[in-house]
Structure 1
Amino acid sequence: MQQLLSVALRSLLPKGPRSALFLLCAFYNELCQRVLDRNRLEQLEENIGETLCMLERYFPPAFFNISVHLTIHLAREARLCGPVQFRWMYPFERFMKTLKEYVKNRARPEGCIAECYLAEERMRFCSAYIKKAAGIGIRSNRNQDLDNGLVEGRPISQGKEKILEDHVLQAAHRYVLFNTAEVEPYLQMHIEELKQTNRRFLINETLLQKRHMETFAQWLSKHVFDNSSDRIQWLAHGPRKHVVSYMGYIINGYRFHTIDVERSTQDSGVSIEADTVCQSSANDYSHTVGRVLYYGVIRDIVLLDYYSFKVPVFRCDWANHETGNQNGRWFYTDQLTPRDNDESNWYGLLKAPPRGMHNMNLLEEEAYTSFTPLDVSTLEINITEKEPYARNECEGIDVTDP
């Protein structure tokens, strides 16, 4: 209702009922977020009335029962009581399933539940005094137990050693350098030095960025300070050619697989916002550096060995949705892209929250970001379509006054 229904209806239904359902899905999606804005809830309370009026245009009266009318009061209830995840029924329904599994003697269900619950409570208490015992009923962090010098995450498949080609290794190493927080001061120093050495770099942003990407790795190896951290020094030294390739990896609360792994759930789609040189056309020479959204699928997962630590990188086939360009790049990210439909070659972007990770130090603009697959704010509310919305697959019934 919050995410998948909107994706499923993208290529179905006429524009009117489709837009009404999109607005209803967006309402529930924003209402069920971890962080709620009180001012936004007041706006949702006003918009849901218009959404229901739109639904009344396209759905029969039997559709509007007490459950549909309940949506009028949900935003006000959230404004008075707080986030809905502290009050909804799903945890209790899941726990009732657990209690039903305790019943072994159907003639005495209450006694079976009490005995099994007490037994599990005793085991949980005793496990706290046993070394290296996993906690019962406690979910472990997916990225814990990092070993072998991994910076983040852990592999979930058998690794294969391979040797990367020089140009592939340079591309992967360049991506690690350009996306490491400790290297940012050196990036600015290199750009300023390039501007001082050649005046063309001051007026041509494309030429500056191109030279910056080509020469930064070599420049860093000569300009790193002796008092710099060990991590900076190993990054300046560069990785080994020998890497380990995997078909599955868990990082940042997400589970990824390569596209070659045949799974019922995809787990191979990724997206990234990258800073790139943009131009409006081939004849446009006023290039500017802008942030562009790319998405694609994972082809390979390798661990770059920097001798004292290892960095996971994903090799992907990406595409720009606006231009349709495709190519291969190195990056790793935390967003999934499910298939639009079986007949389409494109993918519909759907962001998913991480599992088992709760970052409470979010910025304010990030805290209120909803994981909506479609921008429903751009949908037209006043729809003036002349399409009939009468059912034609069955015979009609004439109703006359007695």
Structure 2
Amino acid sequence: MGHRRFLPMDHRWRKEARSFDGTQELDHPPPMPTGDEIWRQVQGIDSVIEAIRKRPNIVQVDYGCFTMTKKEKKDFLKVIQNVKVPDGYASNISRCAKVEECSLVGLKSHDSHILMQHLMPIALRGSLTKKVVEPLIALSGFFREICSKTLRLEDLDRLESRIPYILCQLERIFPPGFFTVMVHLLVHLATECKLGGPDHYRWMCLRSYKGYIRNKAAPEGSIAEGYVAEELLTFCSRYLESSQTVFNRPHRNPEDARGEVKSVSLDEKLWVQAHRYILFNSDDFIPFRTMHKEELRTRNRRDRRPANELDKLHRDQFCDWFRGFVENMDDSRRNELDDKIKSHSIGPVKLALKFKRYVTNGMMFRIRDSENGKSTQNSGVCVSTEDDTPYYGQLTHIIEVQYYDGSRYVLFKCDWANIALGRGYKNDEYGFILVNFSRLIHTGKRITDDPFVLASQVSQVYYVADERIPN
């Protein structure tokens, strides 16, 4: 094992023999070998492997704190079985969980990455003790970060110093047989990312190259021939305009795709809520909002109202004030205004369009009621405010409103969890975000509520239900 060697020289675990292999670790971290040194080290490796194969298969199992009972295994698998992920995120992972057999079968390569990096930490909560769960969650986070699309050097430095600590935590829990050379290689992954970029691109290439091998006696030649053949086919396919190839195939979720479209008449409350949200989330109306705020401050200067009361008055009265402000302009000033300003002061058309799904920013969103019986979940949304406060919701309605100048806006109406800590939102001891959709805010029942967001503002999330934590 020897991962304590990569810890700082003054770390207390270096001298803690009892929790590890019974010895103190006082050596410095080994220097990074050159390519020639590695080549000399691997000479004669075939004979070493042959010697290992001839050893008798003796397996000693130590049932420790990391061993799950049958009930804990079933609880773990029930979480996986209840998982629904967004369309295109992964395959139907829930079908791989066999609760009664206490096993996971049929995972594809990408599914294994999703399970390791995202789902396993969630399912482990409540199945094992905190001492065991914490380093496993940290290990999942390590893999998730090095597989990111973009990496920063300061993050890689942090991961490089963090992974020896995670492995030493695992050494205190798992038996020595767990620590194969593949586990030890984690120490070098962050360094590898500094040299070659994100790891998952190389992992994908290696998997493709392994698929080229047809003659196991000459793997290098098989890979070379397979690579050349694929390059030739790729080159030729670019000229096959009449046939569908990977280069001209239509996108699975084209932008602005919306499926079935219906017309719906907005009642007065929905009309006001949609119109107000658009006015408060478009930069074209910032000068008018500033003007109205200054007018409110001047009018209420004697009352000395607090800022939050003035903001509430501003939200409640701006739409009517804006309409009256434009209507009361003389003709010369009104003619100087843009058509968008004049039409938006009136408000949108009462007749709107209603969809069940909509594609924006390359992601497909679907209303919650249409997901019954489906194995995917596309109704989870998240919106961050200017002060980076996240709001989590479930999509219930998708509408498109139109103004008289032809401007169109796609709005998402959602059930929003109460973000007040301890009510509908909290962080657990492992840092996971828990939301409770039995406690909602901005339900739309009051005209002052804000149930809508612009489709372009949202990011997609998915929720995992855990029966061990109700609601």
Q: Shorter-chain-normalised TM-score: which range?
A: 0.5 to 0.7
Residue 191 of structure 1: CA displacement? 1.2
2:126–2:468 CA contact under 8 A, matched in 1: no
Letter in 1 for 2:348: P
Is the alpha carbon distance of 1:28 and 1:254 closer, same or farther for their aligned partners in structure 2, counting shifts above 3 Å? same
Letter in 2 for 1:311: Y
> Normalized per residue, which structure has more helix?
2
For structure 1, list consecutive stretches of 5 or more residues without a partner in the other structure. Answer: 101-109, 145-152, 276-289, 347-402
Residue 221 of structure 1: CA displacement? 2.6
Paired residue for 1:137, among 247, 250, 259? 247
Is the alpha carbon distance of 1:134 and 1:184 closer, same or farther for their aligned partners in structure 2, counting shifts above 3 Å? farther
Paired residue for 1:310, among 394, 404, 408? 408
1:155–1:249 CA contact under 8 A, matched in 2: yes
Counterpart of 2:45?
A: none
Q: Does 1:320 align with 2:429?
A: no
Letter in 1 for 2:409: V
Q: Does 1:268 align with 2:379?
A: yes
Describe how 1:209-248 pairs up with structure 2 within 5 A: 209-223=311-325, 226-248=335-357
Alignment size in residue pairs: 312
Letter in 1 for 2:247: G
Residue 137 of structure 1: CA displacement? 2.4
Letter in 2 for 1:259: R
State the superposition RMSD in angstroms.
Answer: 3.4
Counterpart of 1:335?
A: 460
2:366–2:378 CA contact under 8 A, matched in 1: yes
Paired residue for 1:81, among 196, 201, 206? 196
Residue 117 of structure 1: CA displacement? 7.3
Letter in 2 for 1:255: M
Q: Matches of 1:306 and 1:345 in 2, distance apart? A: 44
For structure 2, list consecutive stretches of 5 or more residues without a partner in the other structure. Answer: 1-115, 215-223, 327-333, 425-438, 444-450
Q: Matches of 1:345 and 1:258 in 2, distance apart? A: 23
Residue 317 of structure 1: CA displacement? 0.8
Residue 78 of structure 1: CA displacement? 1.4
Paired residue for 1:259, among 365, 368, 388? 368
1:271–1:336 CA contact under 8 A, matched in 2: yes
Q: Which moved more, 1:256-265 or 1:334-343?
A: 334-343
Is the alpha carbon distance of 1:184 and 1:298 closer, same or farther for their aligned partners in structure 2, counting shifts above 3 Å? same
SS at match of 2:238: helix
Counterpart of 1:191?
A: 293
Q: Does 1:298 align with 2:409?
A: no
Larger Rg: 2
Is the alpha carbon distance of 1:117 and 1:11 closer, same or farther for their aligned partners in structure 2, counting shifts above 3 Å? same
Letter in 2 for 1:157: G
Q: Matches of 2:343 and 2:205 in 1, distance apart? A: 47
Is the alpha carbon distance of 1:136 and 1:81 closer, same or farther for their aligned partners in structure 2, counting shifts above 3 Å? closer
Paired residue for 1:166, among 268, 271, 292? 268
Relative to the length of structure 1, the TM-score reads 0.68
Q: Does 1:182 align with 2:284?
A: yes
Q: Matches of 1:177 and 1:96 in 2, distance apart? A: 56
Residue 116 of structure 1: CA displacement? 8.7
Q: Matches of 2:295 and 2:192 in 1, distance apart? A: 58
Q: Matches of 1:98 and 1:187 in 2, distance apart? A: 63
Counterpart of 1:205?
A: 307
Is the alpha carbon distance of 1:137 and 1:213 closer, same or farther for their aligned partners in structure 2, counting shifts above 3 Å? same
Q: Deviations over 1:49-81 (max 9, x none)?
A: 000011112222222111111110011111233
Q: Matches of 1:188 and 1:159 in 2, distance apart? A: 37
